[in-house]
Amino acid sequence: MTSVNAQTTLQAPAQGRSTGFGWFAVLFLIAAQVTAIVISPPDRDMGDLQKIMYVHFPVALNTFTCFFVVLLFSVRFLWQRREQDDLLAASAAEVGTIMTGLTLALGMLWGRPAWGVWWVWDPRLTSTLVLFLIFAGYLALREFVEDPERRGVWSAAVGILGALNVPIVYMSVRWWRTLHQVQSSPSTVDPSYVIGIRLNLTAVLLLTIFLIWRRYEAALTERAAEHVLQTAALGGANA
Amino acid sequence: MPENIYFVTAAYVATWLVIIGYLLRLRALMARARESLAHANASGAAS
Q: Is residue A127 part of a domain?
A: yes
Asked if A116 is an interface residue toward chain B (Cβ–Cβ < 8 A), one would say no
What is the per-residue pLDDT for A9? 55
Q: How many domains are contained in chain A?
A: 1
Distance, CA of B41 to CA of B21 (rounded, Å)? 30
pLDDT of residue A8: 46
A5 lies in a domain?
no
Quick check: A125 pLDDT over 60? yes
Residue pLDDT, tens place only, A189-212: 788 889 999 999 999 999 999 999
| Residue A5 scores a pLDDT above 70 | no
Q: Is residue A214 part of a domain?
A: yes
pLDDT digits (tens, 9 = 90+) for A147-183: 889 999 999 999 999 999 999 999 988 888 888 888 7
Closest-CA residue in chain A for B18?
Answer: A102
From first to last of its 47 residues, what are the pLDDT tens digits of chain B? 567 899 999 999 999 999 999 999 999 999 999 999 898 888 766 66
Q: Which residues touch A47 (CB under 8 Å, ≥6 apart)?
A: B1, B4
Q: Give me Rg for the CA atoms of chain B.
A: 20
CA distance A29 to A22: 11
Tell which wins on pLDDT, B44 or A41. A41
- CA distances A20 to A17, A95, A134, B43, Å, are 7, 19, 33, 32
* Cβ proximity of A215 and A94 under 8 Å: yes
A 10 A CB-CB count for A23 gives 11
What phi and psi values does residue A183 have, to the nearest 5 degrees?
-60, 140
User: Is any Cβ of chain B less than 8 angstroms from the Cβ of A195?
Assistant: no
Who wins on pLDDT, B7 or A9?
Answer: B7
Is there a domain that residue A7 lies in? no
For residue A56, give the nearest of B11, B23, B39 by CB distance.
B11
Tell if the CB–CB gap between A217 and B32 is shorter than 8 Å: no
For A86-123, the pLDDT digits (tens) are 999 999 999 999 999 999 999 999 999 999 999 999 99
Dihedral, CA of residue A190, residue A47, residue A60 and residue A36, to nearest 10 = 60
| A235 shares contact with chain B (CB less than 8 Å) | yes
Contact A50, A200 (CB under 8 A): no
pLDDT value at A2 more than 80: no
What span, in angstroms and rounded, lies between the C-alpha atoms of A186 and A123? 24
CB pairs under 8 A between A and B: 97
Q: Report pLDDT for A15.
A: 62
Question: A160 lies in which domain range?
Answer: 19-39+49-179+191-229
